Amino acid sequence: MKELAKRKPLRAVFRDSSFDSDSTKINLAQIFKLLSPFTEVKSL
């Protein structure tokens, strides 16, 4: 995820089923906020 965030995409969309737990989803959001603050992150 860090490598993806370093590319600074405009949007990143993930499936809810791809996360093991809610804490994994929160960690992902924090990584993007730190490395790519302007990326819109969504999970469907």
pLDDT for 4 equals 94
pLDDT tens string 1-44: 899 999 999 999 999 998 999 999 999 999 999 999 999 999 99
pLDDT for 35 equals 97
Sign of CA dihedral 41, 28, 14, 5: positive
- In which domain, by residue range, is 29 found? 2-43
Give the number of domains in the chain.
1
CA dihedral 28, 36, 10, 14 (to 10 degrees): -10
> How many CA atoms, within 13 angstroms, populate the side-chain half-sphere of residue 18?
9
pLDDT for 26 equals 94
φ, ψ at 5 (rounded to 5°): -65, -35
pLDDT for 6 equals 95
